[in-house]
Amino acid sequence: MSSNSTADDPCGPDDHLCIALIHLQGVIIVPTLLLLGTLVTLLALCILRFYPERKRTQVTAPQRHHSSSHRHRNNNRSHLQGIDAPAGINPLEHEELPMSVQQVQQTVVPILAAAPQVSTERQHGAFSQVTALPLSFSMKPDDSASLYRGRMDNRDVILRMLKERATSSEKQHFLGFASFVSGLGPHPFLPELLGVVSVQSPLMMVVEELQHRDLLGYLWRCRQDNSSVESSCEMTEKRIFTMAGQVASALEYLHTQGCIHGDVGARSVLVGGDLTAKLWGLGSAYRRRTRAASPGDAEDEETRKWRAPEVLSRGGIIQSSDVWSFGLLLYEMVTLGDPPFAQISTTELLQHLQRGKHLKRPTGCSNSLYSTIRACCHWRPQQRVSMSELIRTLQEAERSADGRKVLRVSEPLDIEKYMKEAGYGEAYNYAVL
């Protein structure tokens, strides 16, 4: 037995070096390999954990640079206390490019009890003298937003506030529309977007206020007797050409931006204190931009009287469709707010136009103005006047137009009659913003 044990264990009982060499693999090499494997696994997990975050940081950096460069390009704007609206906001990721809301030290008049949905505890320090905007006749209201009049940086502004009960999709739509308007850029005959509050409730858009509000209401006020109307509310043919030229300039600019307005009419034009006309009512254009519009997509039924034949026949809206509607805007102006095709129902309008019928010449409408209306309202889109030619025509006509004879309409305004003739199903509060 002793000779076999010695053969199996060549090391002596006190030879420790020999014993270590024999057990080297089991005692040292295997644990070392296990330790190295553990370290490699931990290193791989760390790389997988932190690499996506590093990638996001690299992606968002150019966005911040873009925002910074845009603010630099627009440094000629006056500083806005409390709001800032850099272009390019993403309504889904606006936290990465926040609209900064600066708190300023000044007295803010609380929002009136007429708007209980806005909390007075959330004061936006840049605004003062905030009151609910008086409503008048017109289109469907936006149930998710409310309109207010206020003061900011010593100027009158309109605040379009999103209601606190708004859903997430309504919030996305609200911020998306603000981004859409901001992306169009400034134009002298588009209302100026002064800012957007997007990270502090209530969310809001801030737009310059135009004193006389919508052109349709202004035209109706011009129907009144001289004894009860201010001198500025007097429409002459020369003023029609001037204001129409301003709207046409804005419309041409929108077309160069790849935007078809789709809702041109007196209801979508705002009038300033100096009687400058600015085109608004961009909600229809934004809705088409945000959905995959297909030919024949239906718009509000209440605007059918202003639509071009190709839109009525569901053939799709094009730039010359805006030209058709512009001709009807001229008709509204010279009639001081009459609806087009008053004696034709909306269901019969397309057939009426297919028979070669057209707008009748209004009383007091000059040959020059009526020929411009007809040039806009050809049945075939390709026969309609181009926007550039239309602007030249309006400018030439303005120079020779009568600026003294004030247009008058003997028939007083009848809201119910207008509703029926314009094709409205029912009365709606007016909210073009």
Residues serving a catalytic function are 263
Do β-strands 193-197 and 204-208 pair in parallel, antiparallel, or remain unpaired?
antiparallel
Using CA atoms, how far residue 395 sits from 107, 243, 336, 368, 406, in Å, is 47, 10, 21, 12, 20
Q: Kind and range of the H or E element at 209?
A: none
SS3 350: helix
404, burial (CB in 10 Å: exposed 0-12, middle 13-18, buried 19+) = exposed
CA angle 300, 280, 149 (to 5 degrees): 105
Number of residues written out for the chain: 433
Q: Amino acid letter at 198?
A: S
Nearest-angstrom CA–CA distance, 22 and 145? 84
Question: 128-135 — which CB contacts under 8 Å span 24+ positions?
Answer: 128/152, 130/159, 133/158, 135/429, 135/430, 135/431
Instruction: Evaluate whether 266 touches 329 at the Cβ level (below 8 Å).
Output: yes
Q: How far is CA 313 from CA 84, 295, 297, 347, 428, in A?
A: 43, 10, 10, 11, 26
- Do 130 and 150 touch, CB atoms closer than 8 A? yes
Question: What does the block give as tokens for 216?
Answer: 């349709």
Q: What are phi and psi of 141, to 5 degrees?
A: -75, 160
Write the CB contacts of 322 (distance below 8 Å, at least 6 apart in sequence): 251, 255, 260, 261, 262, 264
Rounded Cα distance, 12 and 8, in Å: 11
